Structure 1
Amino acid sequence: MDDSDTVAIIAEDLESSDSSKVCFCFKVPQNKRSPPCSCPFSVTVEPVMFLSTFSIALQMPLYTQYLWDRISEDVGYNGTKGGGCNASTVQDPLQKEVETLTAHWSLYINLGGFVVGLIMVTLLGSWSDHAGRRLVLIIPSLGLAVQATVYLIVMYLKLPVFWFLIGRICSGLSGDFNAILAGCFAYVADTSARGSRTFRVAILEACLGLAGMFASIIGGQWRRAQGYINPFWLVLATNLATALYAYLFVPETVTPDPEAKLLSTRHHQAVYRLYASEAPQGRRTKLWLYTLCFFLVVSVHFGCSDLYVLYELSAPLCWGPELIGYGSAAKHLAYLTSLMGLRAMQCCLEDSWVALVGLTSNIVGLIVFSVANTTTLMFTGYGLCFLFMASTPVLRSKLSKLVDPSEQGALFASVACVEGLCSLVSNGVFNSLYPATLHFMKGFPFIFGAVILFIPAGIIGGLGCQEKKESRENREGSGIS
């Protein structure tokens, strides 16, 4: 058997009673399309995740700051350009207007992209079961490159901020970043054992954090030195490099069907059957409950992340681009600390309890953010969130383990669809809640997010106890027989 035709997966089965390592080898069918080049390192989709996240994390804070500056210029507010923003307890009416308009425009632009992306990511994710995973990595990367091009044109020509919506819709038509997430996680499900899947998923999510950390540090310093345009040229180049890498180096794990059609109702039907079927007994209930938990957790993540920059730009913090970059880097560093914490906790805790520890870290951090009125307190909140990403890889892994290998594409298509819905809902709720509560408590949206997280914590804890009981009964039944 030729090395290029063999995929070896060596994983430690964390769920088995012994600690032996099992090697799974399978022969890749000859009719699978191999990439033109072979990667010299033992990586597959990790660079795709890293590069895509780098481009997103680089542009998002800069994009929000650009909206703030353009809107400030339009209304005649220069509080962040002159002697710094007014840190007094009296709210500047112009600053409040800028905050409100920036939050609303961010909502409108993101809504346009996410509504389109919500439809496309479901098609692309399920389509990858038949057409192959590589296409679902390449197409969204090219769409993100088109979005970056539109943003550059807006900045060069100083077009109205409405044109940002055109760029977001172009990205949404290609599946947006959520389609890349779906393709990468489905790829990992194709090539991982059940026992190692949680950690493999956590590695991918750590790539999210590592890329975000670098992008945040670079973005803040670069914007301060050269403005907005040059960083967005790097965003464009990074997205093109992602598509090129996926085409050249990522091996295919699915036998492509030349007759597979993208625009087909079969993709939506596959997702419907996944959540409608009760076989095996109890699967449907667990799928819905874990999906609800995932929706709530990710919605809080997305919603609060959108507000950090606005919260830090305005009084009383009045952060500049450099501090905003460091703050965003601290937030993304939690992806790495969550990975290390997850690996350590798996030695003595089941996955459900690992997720509960992660949710506790998130809740405590959000409470601190809600009352942060100094730089020290804000960074304390970031520090307390050091395990906040330990819950999402557990939820992805539990969902993946509930379905058959042949259903992984449909599952992660639905998960990607849920992530798109999370973005849609969180942008609508949190970006509307922030300006509406400025007059009585600026940090109220963070308190709201912390309260919401108690719901998935209760569900995960309940299902964890039920699964432990079922496992004990199965072992006792086997002993009796």
Structure 2
Amino acid sequence: MKRIFLVEPLVALYAFAVFLTFPLSQQYVYRRFWVEVTGTPYPISDNTSRCMENINTNSSSSSNDSIYHEAVQRLAARFSTYTVIASTIPSLIVTLLLVTYSDRGGRKIAIIMPLIGSLIYTLGLLTVSYFELNIYLLILVSFSSSLFGGLGTFLGGVFAYIADLTKGDREKTLRMGGVETMIGLTSGVAAICTGYFLKAAGFNWPFLTSAILQFFNLLYAVFVLKETVTAAPTDSDLLNGSPRRSGGKQIFYGVYDMFTRASRRARKILVLLTIVFISFAIAYIGALPLVTLYELNKPLCWNEILIGYGSALSTTAFITSFLGLTVFTCCRVPQLVIVVLGILSAMSGLILLAFAKTTLLMFMVRGPMLLAMMPFPVLRAMLSKIVSKSEQGALFAAISFLENVTTNVATAVFNSIYSATLEWYPGFPFLLAAGLCTIPLLFVGLVSRIGVDVAEEVLVQEAVEKEEEDEDLVEGQGS
């Protein structure tokens, strides 16, 4: 079978399969807790809002319903926290190991392993749902699947794979932005499907469909996708200052070497850009999982159809961000300016989200967030330019590791805050996230003050001098 260098179909199918189950798993947990707390079936209605059912009811019934909703909200938020904690540590370790090792053993291992883990998790969901097993078994399923890596591992491998194939700032930025757009487009389609799929067939069939898609995706990764790293490092690596180490030591020293070999200014830029990336991910990505709980809560009380449309509308930010990124890149807008525009877009959307109390306004708040995904591909491309091709795996391993640990901890913290502030102001976590977005803005200012363009010129010159030195060493050994 002919192999190809085309990772986008893999990303598209992965995103569709994962986002087909992601909102459903949250709703499944919510409904199981509803049955546990109330002892009655979960209320299903064709109305736009389940809260409409409580109109014209007596005050005692309305009060009890409100108490039930608050109890279920707390249980669901805590369950999400437990799940995040159970899956975070193994996933972080595996991400760091696999993506760093991909510099030596090939990019595909960092792509295939999380596909296996995702398939295990989906099959676990299907099993718990079909046999109506204890809901807390899903925490064990999350832990088991995380031993193969997670989304961070997969994206780390994918972005390192793309970095191997691309040359030049514009091509790298647009290709990485295209991957994120592919994620947004397919996940949006999946989000729309989930509501109708759930309403027509329940939970089991969507989980089974996702598992089948992930199985075929795994076959594509194993038998069709071509490897970009064709050979492990050899004795020639000794000439450029990279000592030969065993496989295990190479994994742990890869990230360390990436920082120590860089010049002082390059190291400073590398650290500052990483802080911008991570701090923005904490504020924006950390708060997003609360949106579904917020929509299920009063006064919105959305049903599965509205949740699907809301999730789909949220994912349009991937598409609009890519279009904005394309336009700004073609117009030669500085990359740091693009990052600032994306952060401001996220901030404005989060602030409006905190005050959304009607269905119309909840849909409208997605508008200001249309450019919120722009900073991620731009920052990845900027970071990728600072390190050599042989260190791309180490770079994206470090980014994925930090992104996973910070966003997972942030998600757990935001869930706890949401549970604690549910009675007096459920929108408070979104205001907090908007406030935290000021941190990456401050560090963007520091990067701008240092001067990215000057730093890049220094790096280019150092790379040329290093290549000339290596050639001299090779010629000296030959003589």
Return the offset for 1:269.
1.6
**Cα-to-partner distance string for 1:278-328 (whole Å, 9 max, x where unaligned):** 632312222222111111222223322210110001111111000100000
Distance 1:469 1:151, change over 3 A: closer
Write out aligned runs for 1:72-471 (5 A). 72-76=34-38, 81=43, 84-85=50-51, 92-195=66-169, 196-257=171-232, 264-275=248-259, 277=260, 279-346=262-329, 347-467=331-451, 470=454
Q: For 1:231 and 1:285, how far apart are their aligned partners in 2?
A: 47
Return the offset for 1:410.
0.5
**Cα-to-partner distance string for 1:360-412 (whole Å, 9 max, x where unaligned):** 11100001100000111111111110000001111111111111111111001
Return the offset for 1:464.
2.5
Q: Provide the residue aligned with 1:63 in structure 2.
A: 25
Whether the aligned pair in 2 keeps the contact of 1:127 and 1:262 (CA below 8 Å) is no
Whether the aligned pair in 2 keeps the contact of 1:178 and 1:416 (CA below 8 Å) is yes
Q: Please identify, of 382-391 and 161-170, the stretch whose mean Cα deviation from structure 2 is larger.
A: 161-170
Whether the aligned pair in 2 keeps the contact of 1:154 and 1:163 (CA below 8 Å) is yes
Return the offset for 1:241.
1.5
Bigger RCO of structures 1 and 2 (CA < 8 A, at least 6 apart)? 2
Q: For 1:391 and 1:357, how far apart are their aligned partners in 2?
A: 8
Q: For 1:443 and 1:402, how far apart are their aligned partners in 2?
A: 39
Whether the aligned pair in 2 keeps the contact of 1:44 and 1:250 (CA below 8 Å) is yes
Distance 1:72 1:256, change over 3 A: farther
Distance 1:451 1:184, change over 3 A: same
Whether the aligned pair in 2 keeps the contact of 1:366 and 1:450 (CA below 8 Å) is yes
Report how many residues are paired.
436
Return the offset for 1:214.
0.9
Q: For 1:60 and 1:116, how far apart are their aligned partners in 2?
A: 20
TM-score, normalised to structure 2's length? 0.86
1:327 alignment partner AA: G
Q: For 1:70 and 1:229, how far apart are their aligned partners in 2?
A: 14
Whether the aligned pair in 1 keeps the contact of 2:35 and 2:41 (CA below 8 Å) is no
Is the partner of 1:264 in helix, strand or coil?
A: helix
Distance 1:472 1:253, change over 3 A: closer
Q: Provide the residue aligned with 2:237 in structure 1.
A: none
Distance 1:431 1:406, change over 3 A: same
Q: For 2:365 and 2:222, how far apart are their aligned partners in 1?
A: 40
1:251 alignment partner AA: K
Q: Please identify, of 187-196 and 296-305, the stretch whose mean Cα deviation from structure 2 is larger.
A: 296-305
Q: For 1:155 and 1:80, how far apart are their aligned partners in 2?
A: 15
- Sequence identity (%): 33
Return the offset for 1:337.
0.4
Whether the aligned pair in 2 keeps the contact of 1:123 and 1:263 (CA below 8 Å) is no
Q: For 1:398 and 1:473, how far apart are their aligned partners in 2?
A: 13
TM-score, normalised to structure 1's length? 0.86
Whether the aligned pair in 1 keeps the contact of 2:325 and 2:338 (CA below 8 Å) is yes
Return the offset for 1:226.
1.0
Q: Name the one with the larger helix percent.
A: 2
Distance 1:319 1:79, change over 3 A: farther
Whether the aligned pair in 2 keeps the contact of 1:151 and 1:164 (CA below 8 Å) is yes
**Cα-to-partner distance string for 1:107-153 (whole Å, 9 max, x where unaligned):** 11122112110011110001111111122212211121111111111
Distance 1:472 1:97, change over 3 A: closer
Unaligned 5+ runs, structure 2: 235-243, 459-479
Q: For 1:119 and 1:173, how far apart are their aligned partners in 2?
A: 9
Q: For 2:73 and 2:189, how far apart are their aligned partners in 1?
A: 27
Match of 1:49 among 8, 11, 16: 11
Q: For 1:129 and 1:471, how far apart are their aligned partners in 2?
A: 25
Q: For 1:56 and 1:148, how far apart are their aligned partners in 2?
A: 8
Match of 2:2 among 37, 60, 75: 37
Return the offset for 1:79.
9.2
Is the partner of 2:451 in helix, strand or coil?
A: helix
Distance 1:82 1:193, change over 3 A: closer
Q: What is the root-mean-square deviation in Å for CA atoms of aligned residues?
A: 2.5
Unaligned 5+ runs, structure 1: 1-35, 475-481
**Cα-to-partner distance string for 1:326-359 (whole Å, 9 max, x where unaligned):** 0000111110000000111121411110011111
